[in-house]
Structure 1
Amino acid sequence: MKTSKSLTTIAAVAAASALLLSGCASSEGDEATQHSQHETPSETASSEDHSENHEHAADGGQPPTGIEEASDPTYAVGDEVTLTADHVPGMKGAKARISGAFDSTTYSVSYTPTDGSDPVKDHKWVVHEELESPGKAPLKDGTKVTLNADHMPGMKGAEATIDSSTEDTVYMVDLDMDGMTMTNHKWVVEDEVQPAE
């Protein structure tokens, strides 16, 4: 009788333990499922992409001191245009309005942001007037410069290298892109703009 009672007690303890363990495993499994539902790699990537879309300030501000307004630009202030530039996701094909047209040397640059973020390659664009003591334009490809432009976090004061340059008319534009209204966005050049369709 004692043996039978002991076996019954052991069986009951074993069953309770198994039930308890399966409950823990189920709870942990549910928690892991909840995390995977809220933090999937594609959603994480999507939110990161979304933040990259908005690194540029919503209001680009005034043109830099010393830049000359274009005397006879292809697109005048107020003209509606379509952008062919793809500097950031959502820009290519976006409708925009010209908010400024200027004559300047415009550079694509690579730089390491001063805020510790990842290096930026081939950033389009900065104008000659946004460089610290640049000397006479145009600067040669490979020239080292210091940026006074403040288009994105960590840009102002960063050391940069000129990747390429153009003498095309350069424009500031107002546009709606990816749910965000941007005013005086700097910059797009002549061959990145076409008449609105």
Structure 2
Amino acid sequence: MNTFKTVALVAGAAASVFAVSACSTDSATDSADETTAASQSSHEGHEGHGAGGHEHDHPEDGGPAPAGIEEAENPTYPVGEEVILTADHMPGMDGAPATVSGAFKTYIYAVTYTPTDGGDPVVDHKWVVHEELDNVGDERLADGATAVMNAEHMSGMKGAEATIVSSTDETVYMVDIDTDEMTMKRHKWVVESEIQPK
């Protein structure tokens, strides 16, 4: 009888430890899931970048400017200038401080496309520059024209066929952004009308 009680007590203690351990594992997993969900929701589609919940999975470093793009002469905001963004391409961008990391003169397009990775269509994505489009020559593309993109601003973009929604020939900028909401180097792109002096 004493032996039976001892075995029962040991088994009960082990079950309690297991239950506590399982609770804390579930709690940590739940917390991680909540953090992931919060992170994903903060990148869901906004005007200018997507529809149907397309996520903003921009790389932390956008990489160098595309080959062949021409640097702007005497841009309003030269490289190294601190500015305030007025673009609303993604959550946390409008009003964010940024530093100019490149200034270029080219044709810039807002485009609609379906990602190659099966994501929802992206409507009125701002922006893609002329040099990020395949075999389009030197002339500005008309609204409604289509072209295949070389740009890889977000997953599923490279190789997708884009339809031109609108275009501009404003000076276009790469910017470094470092705020509580986002940290990005050489983010592509914002046009001059989406920037104001700091």
Fold-level similarity (TM above 0.5):
yes
Aligned to 1:89, which of 76, 88, 91? 91
In structure 1, the partner of 2:41 is 49
Aligned length: 160
1:150 CA displacement: 0.6
Aligned to 2:66, which of 52, 64, 67? 64
Report the CA distance shift for 1:174/1:43 in structure 2 as closer, same or farther (over 3 A).
closer
In structure 1, the partner of 2:81 is 79
Q: CA-to-partner distance for each residue in 1:15-47, whole Å, 9 max, x for gaps?
A: xxxxxxxxxxxxxxxxxxx9xxx69xx999744
1:119 maps to a residue whose letter is P
Tell me, in whole angstroms, the C-alpha distance in 1 between the residues paired with 2:178 and 2:158. Answer: 25
Q: CA-to-partner distance for each residue in 1:118-170, whole Å, 9 max, x for gaps?
A: 11000000000000011232100000110000100000000110000000000
1:49 maps to a residue whose letter is S
Is the 1:91–1:177 contact (alpha carbons within 8 Å) kept by the matching residues of 2? Answer: no
Percent of pairs identical after alignment?
Answer: 62
In structure 1, the partner of 2:151 is 149
Instruction: Give the SS at the match of 1:97.
Output: strand
Question: Unaligned 5+ residue runs, structure 2?
Answer: 1-25, 45-54
**Which structure has more helix as a fraction of its residues?**
1
Bigger-Rg structure (1/2): 1
In structure 1, the partner of 2:122 is 120
1:80 CA displacement: 0.3
TM-score w.r.t. length of structure 2:
0.75
Is the 2:101–2:174 contact (alpha carbons within 8 Å) kept by the matching residues of 1? Answer: yes
Counterpart check, 1:167 vs 2:169: yes
Instruction: Give the SS at the match of 2:42.
Output: helix
Is the 1:128–1:137 contact (alpha carbons within 8 Å) kept by the matching residues of 2? Answer: no
The CA RMSD measured in Å over matched residues stands at: 2.2
Tell me, in whole angstroms, the C-alpha distance in 1 between the residues paired with 2:92 and 2:124. Answer: 18
